[in-house]
Structure 1
Amino acid sequence: MPIIVRDYTWQQNDSQVYISIPLKGTRAGDSSVLCTEHYLKVSFSPFLFEAFLFAPIDDCKSSAKIGNGIILFTLYKQIPSAWDALTSTNLEKEEMQRIREEAIVRVQEKTKEDKKAKAENKRENEKYSLAVMMKIEEEERKRIEDVKEEERRRATEEMEKWKAQQRKEETRKKAEEEKRKSNTNKTMFPTHPKPSVKEHERNCVQNSKTLKEKVLPDVRATACINITFTPRVFPTAVRESRAAEEEEWLQKQAEARRAINLSDKELADLKEEEKNPEWLKDKGNKLFAAGDYLAAVNALNLAIRLNDKIPALYLNRSACHLKLRNLHKAIEDSSKALELLTPPVPDNAAARVKAHVRRGTAFCELELYVEGLLDYEAALKIDPSNQNVKSDAEKIRQIIQSSCPEVE
């Protein structure tokens, strides 16, 4: 049988009533509150507080806060006036039972209505979100088509100009060749009078002497130059070398550079430079530096469709998503980059630090400070001398230590 609470306190003014009920050493999560116009009930096992109110209240505006070992009610009166007492004392048992049952029925109906309203509101929000996303995607598709059409038109114009220039250049070269041939013919067949036999013999003797006097250079001697390259790619000492992991990393990078994930039809629609993921990555970097983060994401999306094994593409796209506040996508791209940055070798240490820091930043922006701190600590294990990462990790620790959940 529950123990009735008697040591509560209450105060009032013309429009409000304040009731303070001690929790009797129980936790706030174990309390159950029921409030209607004429009835107020608080259960926190094994204690019970029940009040049949002196006058009706507005249960929609009234509120209850639970915390610090106390329950505080703020009740708004329907009719502003001073109450003689908090509860009615002249009610019969049958009347009290009826009020209890009506209160329970009303609360159940209100709960059903609230649940139905929330479900309806959720459906409306989902419809609106879907409509907005479809509109954004349609506008983005149209913008991309316009950009492609403009690029095709520009490329066609440039090709036509180049062809015209080539035709002019060929015409000029033909004219110069014809002029040169004409001058050569004039030189070989001069128009001056034909020399006599004696003059011709003298000229032949002179030409033979000139040819004899000319000394031709010696033929160049052939030689062979031996060049020896070191087989090591990573500058790691032999006693600290992880040759197997390094060779695996190099093999993954080579396979990533050879991978193409688009069909022949899709490749045919792209320009030559657009088929190169490295060119698209550089283009995304330039767009990011210019502040056009959405265009940078589009360039990196195409690069990833061409080759989804290059970790730098996911790492750069995660930075763009951070700028665009697409925090969940930033976490996904950073995680994918870390998945591709295996095995951990000195060559990819800087990239792994960036991936951990960007994923930790996205977690902190979502107020998931514990997960963010784990990523920052992982980055510090890779680069313990990074002062910026140390400072940010300390700030996150202070936020975690100072945060305290508020119960209402």
Structure 2
Amino acid sequence: MPLLVSDHSWTQTDSTVHIHVPLKGARAERVDIVSTDEYIKVHYPPYLFEAFLLEPVDDDRSSAKVGNGVAILNLMKRNKKVWNHLTINTDDKDLKKEIRERALLKYQEKLSSESRSKKEKQQAEKKYALETMMKLEEEARDSVQKTKDAERARTTAELEAWQLRQRREAEDEDELRLQRHDLKALTEKKEAGRNVKSGQIVKAVKPQKRRGDVPAPRRTGNIQVVFTPRVFPTALRESRVEEEEEWLRKQAEARRALNPDVDELQDLKEEDRNPDFLKDKGDKYFAAGDFLSAVNVYNLAIRLNRQLPALFSNRAACHLKLRNLHKALEDSSKALDLLTPPVAANAAARTRAHVRRGSAFCQLQLYAEGLQDYQAALKIDPHNEALQDDTQRIRDVIQGTETLSDSD
């Protein structure tokens, strides 16, 4: 049974009513205020203040403030006149019950309307952010395409100019060769004429084409290609070359495992069938704070290729932001299953997956399980000071010397 507050005070003007309700040591965050046009309630357990107003007020222009041990309600009168009393003078419990229920119903409708307005505003903001991101991506693609077209046009023009120059040089060389041939023939004809006059018999010799007039064929050759060997810094007795090679083979197979032949994926653009492109796109949405869009992009990428651990790990990070903690656990565990064998090439990825799964466990208040993941991450990256601090905090929570909030 709540304790009714009777030591309140109120003042008024022609247009406003000011009500002061003492909070009796209650904290501000524990005070619940319900205000409508005909009913006021201030509840801070175990105390309760109720007022069935004498005249209706304008609830939309009224306000309430809590601080310094008192709740102050500023009510705007609908009719400018002085009240003789703050509340109605009646002991009719049924009438008060009817007014209270009607007021609470109005208050619930008001809260629902505000919630819908807030949700619509958030959806509009998300839509605007998505449209802006798509516009930026379209502009970037157009810019790249324009650069490619300009480069292609420039290369084509240079090729055509080079071909024209080559044709002109060939024509000039043919003309010069023809002139030399005519001059030589004329000279030989004159020489033959002089020899006939002097009584000498000269045998006409058909001029032969000189070797220098025809370019020599190009010489053949071989180009030796040498690949740099992949060097592992681990000592031979501790070598994990086989595991490294297995990890690289699995990654190569994962990228070759594209099978976008599902009916609903046939209409996608070429770049939207590339999981790596989709991963980068999801990362941009995540960086912009649009976690729901990032999840949708990662979902499509995973449908195209379920063997890339980064997709599951990044989707787990989005689910953490959206408070989908069980989904974050599933995606982190799937990423860790794919990050095998444990080698240096995937150490950073395994660290992130352990931390994300450990964070999900802790937010579900499963601190023992979360501590195991943080210890596993710390074993991979033992010099990470942030990991050391978080691991110690979880130990303190388990021992009861510290509490973790949801934001931690």
* TM-score (norm: length of structure 2): 0.49
* TM-score (norm: length of structure 1): 0.49
More relative contact order in 1 or in 2 (CA 8 Å, sep 6+)? 1
